[in-house]
Structure 1
């Protein structure tokens, strides 16, 4: 991924936050059958290894777990939010007419080594952790024990676990940081007004940081 210095997100903590709040990643592999991409929800273990580790499961019928070998390099892409930016939103455009449209976004790319975990214990723990995390906000959280044991046993046998040790984490926060603070701020406010608050709020924060830096 091309990352100009002004769009670089160097904070591992910020990238871990992005992964946890945007858990559906795109797992990109290059196995025996060539390039492949699968959309998979991931559980992040921040404390495992230098950059953390990703845990997930896929359907046993999904050929990806047989197409790769343990130790293969893979890439997982996490996208937090994106939004179109009109040049009309930049105050400087009204003065100088030297602006063009762009697209802003927040993404994290996790490179790593994959391990195929075709064992029931790993899969059960992965499903339980994912369930606890994403059911936590519900008034009556669902748990695996709510379903008949034989049903859960059958479902667990139908999936395979994947573990990815993150070896490199790259983040890009493209928020018009190459523009004047007033342009970043106004575009962020316009996004907030139309409901694109994830990118809008991030742009307002970027405008404030740039103003503080002088």
Structure 2
């Protein structure tokens, strides 16, 4: 990922937070047949390994796990993003030398990939993933709410995924390279948008509220 210094994010805790907030990622492997990608909800164990370890599962019918990866796998986590019009820049009124751009946050995680179908490990992953996303709900569903025989049958239809993170890159492009007046204009413009993602980006503009 091309990451100019102004947009680089190196803080481990911040990178992990960005990954958790993205929730769904694109899991990519390079194979002899070409690139394969699957949208997956992975969860991060931050205490396992130097940069944490990602866990999840794929459908057993998904050919990605059957095709040996060449080198490391890659998990792409995309955060909030928004189109930025030059019309919001104070610089446009001053000299007009401005162009459109896009603000966004992203984390790319890399590491060796392990696929497995051990029932006990699969149940652990499914349970942890379920508990993670059911946690905020007032009425939480648990894996144990379903009949055990049904759960065991469902586990036969998936394959587990483990990817220890050996390299991680983070980028938060939020108009940091623009003058304060331009950032304020961007934040104000995004805050008026009907798009929820735009309003989220507005709150991430450094100094935008000044």
TM > 0.5: yes
- Show the counterpart of 1:46: 46
Measured after TM superposition, the shift of residue 208 of structure 1 is 6.3
User: Does structure 1 residue 106 correspond to structure 2 residue 112?
Assistant: no
Written as runs of structure 1 = structure 2, the 5 A alignment for 1:88-103 is 88-103=87-102
Measured after TM superposition, the shift of residue 68 of structure 1 is 2.3
Contact 2:183 2:208 (C-alpha < 8 Å) held by counterparts: no
Aligned residues: 207
User: Does structure 1 residue 59 correspond to structure 2 residue 24?
Assistant: no
- Show the counterpart of 1:174: 173
Instruction: Kindly report structure 1 stretches of 4+ aligned residues shifted beyond 3 Å.
Output: none
Measured after TM superposition, the shift of residue 104 of structure 1 is 0.7
Measured after TM superposition, the shift of residue 87 of structure 1 is 0.3
**Partner Cα distance (1:159, 1:198) in 2:** 35
Q: State the secondary structure of the residue aligned to 2:165.
A: strand
**Partner Cα distance (1:61, 1:24) in 2:** 20
Contact 2:188 2:208 (C-alpha < 8 Å) held by counterparts: no
**Partner Cα distance (2:48, 2:56) in 1:** 15
Measured after TM superposition, the shift of residue 57 of structure 1 is 0.2
Q: State the secondary structure of the residue aligned to 2:2.
A: coil
Cα shift readout 1:134-185 (whole Å, capped 9, x = no counterpart):
1111111011121122111111111000100101110011111111012112
- Show the counterpart of 2:120: 121
**Partner Cα distance (2:20, 2:145) in 1:** 25
- Normalised by the length of structure 2, the TM-score is 0.94
Give me the CA root mean square deviation.
1.6
- Normalised by the length of structure 1, the TM-score is 0.92
Q: State the secondary structure of the residue aligned to 1:207.
A: coil
Higher helix share: 1
Q: 2:201 aligns with which of 199, 202, 208?
A: 199
Cα shift readout 1:15-55 (whole Å, capped 9, x = no counterpart):
10011111211111012322111100001000111000100
**Partner Cα distance (2:80, 2:116) in 1:** 31
Contact 2:187 2:208 (C-alpha < 8 Å) held by counterparts: no
Contact 1:12 1:169 (C-alpha < 8 Å) held by counterparts: no
